[in-house]
Amino acid sequence: MSRLILKNIGRESAIFSFRVILSILIMGVLFSFLAYRLAGLQITQHEHFTTRSKENRVKILPLPPPRGLIFSRDGVLLAENIPTFSLEVVPELAGDLDELIVKINSVIGLDDDEIQRFKKEVKRKRKFEKTPLKLKLSEEEIARFSVNQFLFPGVTIATRLVRYYPHGQDFVHMLGYVGRINEKEVKRIDKANYSASSYIGKTGIERSYEPQLHGQVGYQQVEINAQGRIIQVLKREPPLPGHDLYLTIDTKLQSIAAKALGERRGAVVAIDPNTGAVLAMVSYPGYDPNWFVNGISSDRYQTLSQSVDRPLFNRALQGQYPPGSTFKPFIAMAGLFFGVRDEHDQSSCPGWFSLPGGQHRYRCWNKSGHGGVNLQRSIIESCDIYFYELAKDLGIDRIHDYLKGFGFGKVTGVDLAGEAQGLLPSKEWKLKAKETSWYPGETLITGIGQGYMLTTPFQLASATATLSMNGKRVIPRLVGQTEDPATGKSGDLLSETPQKTVEANEEDWELVSQAMRDVVLGQRGTARKIGMGASYEFAGKTGTSQVFGLKQIAEDNMAKDQIPEHLRDHALFIAFAPLKNPVIAVAVVVENGGSGGRAAGPVARQLLDYYMQNQ
C-alpha cells in the first residue's frame, strides 16, 4: 500500500507526455531524413536508375554466325555444323540439386565426371544462371527427358551448333580443326565479332581461313527476366554466315593417295602445276579432329602427343627431309644454266670420289661404279659421282642462288598456316647459323641432296611443278573458291598466272625432262618398274635420304635388314605427267621406307594413273 502512495500519478503522466513528444520529434526527424533520401533516389538520381533498370531488363544478345562449310572440289562436305543438345539447369528454379541429380540420373544417366563438373560450375555461377549438366545428348536421351520435363522445373534442353568433320582423320592435316577460344586467342580476336562465338580455327584451313569462315556476328535486343529468360525480342540484326570454302582437293585422288601410302609414316602431295591447285595432300598417321572440338581429354592428348609416330605432326607441310637424289634434276638445271656442263660432258664414276688433296672418299650408291656418265645418264641411273663433281664445279653459292627459283629453302606460301621453311644452304647461311666457314665437302653432298639440305614434301612437289612448267611457278593453294551463302557470290582464288622464276634454255628443260622420263620409262632407269605399262608419258626421279650416315653403317658393318626401322633411309619420289603440258606434279616421302623407287614410286604411279584417266 505504501508503494502506491509513492506513485505520483501527475508527475508520471507529465514525464510520459514529454517523452512521447520527444519521440515524435525524433521520429519526425528520422522520417524526414528517409523522405529526403528517397527523394534523392527517386527524383535526383531517377534518370541514372532508370538507365540501370533498362540495362537490367534489356540485353543485347550477340547471335553467333554459322561457320562456313568446307567442301572438296568434287562437292563432298568435309566440315559441317551439326546441332548438339545439352541439358542446362537454373539452380534457383531447380530446387535441391543433389535430389535433382539423382532424379535426372534415373531418367537419362549421368557419369561422375559430369556431376563433378556441374557441381563445380554451379558454385562459380549465380543461382539464376544456366549451367550445363550434360553435354551432347543423344536422341533417346532428349526423348526421355522431354517426356519427363514437367518433373524438372528450371531444367531445359539447349541447342548449339558444333563443328563436325564427317571424314574423321582423312582430311585432318589440311582442314585442321576448331576448338574453344583460349586466353591467348582472346587477345588477338575482334571481341565484338566473337562475342557469341565459342570456337576458333586452331590449325590447318580452319585457322588460315578463319576470317572468311567465321562470318559477322548478329545482335538481338531482348527483354529478359532475372533468370535470363527472354521475355520478348525488341530488335534483331541477323548474323552474316561465314563463307563456304571449296577446296582444290579431289577426294578420290586423296583417298587413292591415302590408300597407296597405307600405314606407313609419310606424306604425299599432288599439285596442278598450271594453277597451283593442291589435288591431294596426305600425311600419315593422323587423328580424328572431332576429338579437339570440345576439348580433348588429357589422356588422349598425352597418347597423341607422345606417340613415336607423331600423328599431330603434319609431315606434308612441316616435315623436313633431305631431298636425296630427287634433288639431282634441279642441280642438273643449274649446271646447264651456268654452262658448267653440256649434254655431252662426262664424268667417270669408279664408285667413289675424293676432293683433290683430300682423304675422304665420297661414295656412289653403286659401289662398282657407273663408268663414264653424261648428264642424262647420271639422272637416269642416279650417279652420285657426276653430281659430286658438278656441285664442286658450281660452288655452293651458285647452287643456292639458282635453286632458290624452284622454291627451295623458303615457304611455298600455300594457304595453310605453320609451313616449314626447309633449308637451302649457302656460305652466308652457314656463317650465320653455325658460325663457321663452308667446307668444300659440304658442297659435294649438297649436290646429291644430303648434308644441310632440307625440304618439305610440299616444297618438293611445288619445285617439281616448277620444273615441269619449264621454270614457271604458281603459289600452291588448297582453297579454290569461296562462296558467300547469303548472296551466293563466289570468289575464285585460282586466277593467278604462273610467274617465271627459273631461267634456262628450252633445250635444257627438254634434256632434263627427257632424262626424268627415262628414269621411269627407259631401259636403265632406276625406277623402270614404276613406269611399266603406263599408258601416258611421265617423268620421275627416285630419292633416298639418309637418316643414319652411310659411313657409320659401314663402320658398324650392319646388314641392311638389321638396321632398326626408325634409322632406315627415307624413301622419296617426285613425278609429273604428262611430259608435255603437265597437269599433275607429285612428291612422295615414305619415312624409313628404304629405297625411293620401291617404297615411294608406286604411290606416285597410282596417283598419276587415276588422275590421267579421270581428269
Partner 1 sequence: MINNSRSLSAKTHLDIPLLIALLLLCSIGLLVLYSAADQRMDVVIRQITRIGIGLTGMCVIAQFPMRTIIRWAPWLFGLGLIMLVAVMFVGYTGKGAQRWLDLKFMKFQPSEVMKIAVPMMIAWYLNEKPAPPSFQSVFMVLILIAVPVVLVAKQPDLGTSILIAASGGFVLFLSGLRWRIIFAAILAGLAAAPLLWHVMKDYQKQRVLTLFDPEKDPLGAGYHIIQSKIAVGSGGLFGKGWLNGTQSQLGFLPERTTDFIFAVFCEEFGFLGVLALMALYCFIILRCLYIAKVAQGTFARLVSGSLALTFFTYVFVNMGMVTGQLPVVGVPLPLISYGGTSLVTLLLGFGLIMSAFTHRQLMSR
Residues engaged in binding partner 1 (CB under 8 A): 3-4, 6-8, 11-13, 15-17, 19-20, 23-24, 27, 30-31, 34-35, 37-39, 41-43, 45-46, 48-50, 52-53, 56-57, 126, 128, 223-227, 231
* Least separation in angstroms between CB 117 and partner 1: 21
* Alpha-carbon torsion (589, 591, 596, 597), positive or negative: negative
9/559 with CB nearer partner 1: 9
For partner 1, the closer of residues 25 and 431 by Cβ is 25
Q: Closer to partner 1 at the Cβ: 53 or 505? A: 53
- Residues with catalytic roles: 325
- Give, for 24, the enclosing helix (H) or strand (E): helix 9-39
Question: Least separation, in Å, of the C-beta of 183 and partner 1?
Answer: 22
- 574's enclosing H/E stretch is strand 570-577
C-alpha cell at 57: 531488363
**For residues 23 and 499, which CB has a smaller minimum distance to partner 1 in the complex?**
23
Q: Shortest distance, CB of residue 458 to partner 1, whole angstroms? A: 51
Q: What is the DSSP letter of 282?
A: E
Of the candidates 387, 416, 216, the one whose C-alpha atom is nearest the C-alpha of residue 315 is 416
Residues 176, 202 contacting (CB under 8 angstroms): yes
The residue among 24 and 567 lying less far from partner 1, judged by its C-beta, is 24
3-state DSSP call for residue 51? helix
Hey, is 186 helix, strand or coil?
Answer: helix
CA atoms of 328 and 527, how far apart (whole Å): 15
**Phi and psi at residue 36, to the nearest 5°:** -65, -45
> 225 or 354: whose CB is closer to partner 1?
225
Query: At residue 64, what are phi and psi to the nearest 5 degrees?
Result: -70, 135
The 3-class secondary structure across 384-403, one letter per residue, is HHHHHHHHHHHCHHHHHHHH
Q: If you ran DSSP here, which 8-state letter would residue 136 be given? A: S
* Shortest separation between residue 237's beta carbon and partner 1, angstroms: 23
CA distances from 23 to 16, 18, 19, 30 (A): 10, 9, 6, 10
Q: Minimum CB separation from partner 1 for residue 89, in Å?
A: 17
Q: Which is nearer to partner 1, 30 or 532 (CB)?
A: 30
CA of residue 89 relative to chain centroid, distance: 36
Residue 123: burial class (beta carbons within 10 Å; 0-12, 13-18, 19+): exposed
Contacts (Cβ under 8 Å, ≥6 apart) of 82: 161, 162, 164
For partner 1, the closer CB: 5 or 308: 5
Q: Which residues of 314-328 are buried (b: 16+ CB within 10 A; e: fewer)?
A: bbbbbbebbbbbbbb
Beta bridge partners of 198: none
Residue 403 CB coordination number (10 Å): 21
In the bound complex, what is the minimum distance in angstroms from residue 28's beta carbon to partner 1? 9
Q: Which is nearer to partner 1, 43 or 308 (CB)?
A: 43
d(CA 92, CA 130): 10
User: Please, what is the minimum distance in Å from the beta carbon of residue 27 to partner 1?
Assistant: 5
Query: Measured from the CB of residue 9, what is the shortest distance to partner 1 in angstroms?
Result: 9
Q: Give the largest Cα separation in the chain, rounded.
A: 150
SS3 state of residue 308: coil
Angle at 385 (CA atoms; ends 383, 389), nearest 5 degrees: 130
Element housing 514 (H / E): helix 506-521
Instruction: Give the nearest distance from C-beta 59 to partner 1 in angstroms.
Output: 11
Query: What's the min distance (Å) between Cβ of 180 and partner 1?
Result: 24
Q: Is the CB of 2 or the CB of 562 nearer to partner 1?
A: 2
Helix (H) or strand (E) segment spanning residue 118: helix 112-124
Question: Does 285 sit behind a cis peptide bond, omega within 30 degrees of 0 on the bond before it?
Answer: yes
Place of cell 664414276: 349
Helix, strand, coil distribution of the chain in percent, nearest 5: 45, 20, 35
Cβ(491)–Cβ(212) below 8 Å: no
Q: Which is nearer to partner 1, 29 or 192 (CB)?
A: 29
CA distances from 31 to 20, 25, 37, 394, 427 (A): 16, 10, 10, 102, 92
> Minimal distance in Å, beta carbon 229 to partner 1?
9
Contacts of residue 570, defined as CB under 8 A and 6 or more positions apart, other chains included, come to 321, 322, 324, 544, 545, 547, 589, 590, 591, 592, 593
